[in-house]
Amino acid sequence: MSNMMLCHSALAKNPYFVATFGVNIYSIEELCYLLVKNAYLVDEDLMDEKLCDFLENEAGMPELGARLKEMLIRRCSVGEFVTEIIIEGDYCTEEELSEVRQTLVDNSGMDRSRKHKIRGDNMLKAKRYTHALDEYRYILENMEKDSDEILYSEIMHNMGTAYARLFFFERAAECFYKAYETGNKRVSLIHYLTAMKIIMDKEQYDRLILRYGYEDDVVEEVEGIIKKFKVPDITNEGTKQLDTLKEASESGKVSDFYRLMDETLDSWKRDYRRSMITNMLDLHD
């Protein structure tokens, strides 16, 4: 969260990660801010017992946390749940609260795929790449490619970005190509060729460019990206770690994959990413 706010309530030592928005919160004020500013994104996923536990045990709001748990048992509506939080947080005026309620009603029928797309994008911006991929996969599993080609193209592009930032450049290239193939966006083509230049040797890459006859300005833009950011040496120890992650992923060992992913990223992502070309690979909003 970039805006500053004065918090009168307790600040939690252990934050609560709001998956819908891809951010950590430390107080009731921060939670209310998110709900008021992003009411159009809120749905049943917010109604989580872990949020109640956070308010009860970490944010110094035990009575609110207990009431919200009771509301969950009663299967209250999202509007009731959100209203209870905002009123207790004493965050906005009655008029503003009325607007939030109306927004919740107006957007209750918002296409679920679009909501998951926004969540995935928030995860991607928050550098929670595996979680972002989960959101994007959910959409793909529940939609036909031809039903919304624009959405499909945006999802594939952003999946490519997530894979690239996880150093799975081959998968990234596949996603960027599918995004370009469907949406015909220049940015997807640039990212595809950038990923291919990383994973191919010079001769292979030159043949690719010659075979498909990509325009000179496209090739030059890719070269500019490569020159601007130092490409890491993929023959170092990191390669072994990536191979281990790849084996876990391809063998279907999901729990092992996520565990290894967290351990690996925690150990070397900061230094390694400083020089990564993936800093140039942006998402489609």
Say which residue the tokens 């030159």 belong to. 206
Q: CA-CA distance, 215 to 117, in Å (whole number)?
A: 31
The structural domains of the chain, ordered by start, are 16-106 (no CATH), 112-280 (1.25.40.10)
Handedness of CA 103, 104, 109, 112 (dihedral sign): positive
Opening angle at CA 208, ends 204 and 209, nearest 5: 120
Phi, psi of 265, rounded to the nearest 5 degrees:
-65, -40
The radius of gyration of the chain from alpha carbons, rounded to an integer in Å, stands at 22
Which residue in 83, 21, 19, 16 sits closest to 52, CA to CA? Answer: 16
**H-helix segments, the chain:** 28-37, 49-57, 62-73, 78-89, 94-106, 112-125, 129-141, 149-165, 169-183, 186-199, 202-212, 216-228, 237-250, 254-273
Q: Angle at which helices 129-141 and 149-165 pack, to 10 degrees? A: 150
Say which residue the tokens 């193209």 belong to. 153
Say which residue the tokens 């006859």 belong to. 213
Per residue of the chain (285 residues), give pLDDT as tens: 444 444 456 788 899 998 878 889 999 999 999 888 888 778 888 899 999 999 999 999 999 999 999 999 999 988 899 999 999 988 888 888 888 888 888 776 667 788 888 888 888 888 889 989 998 998 998 887 667 899 999 999 999 999 999 989 999 999 999 999 999 999 999 999 999 999 999 999 999 999 999 999 999 999 988 887 654 454 455 566 666 766 766 776 667 666 777 776 666 544 544 445 555 556 665
Asked if 198 and 231 touch (Cβ cutoff 8 Å), the reply is: yes
Q: CA-CA distance, 113 to 276, in Å (whole number)?
A: 31
- The answer, as to whether pTM is greater than 0.85, is no
Which residue in 231, 230, 221 sits closest to 198, CA to CA? Answer: 231
Structure confidence at residue 259 (pLDDT): 72
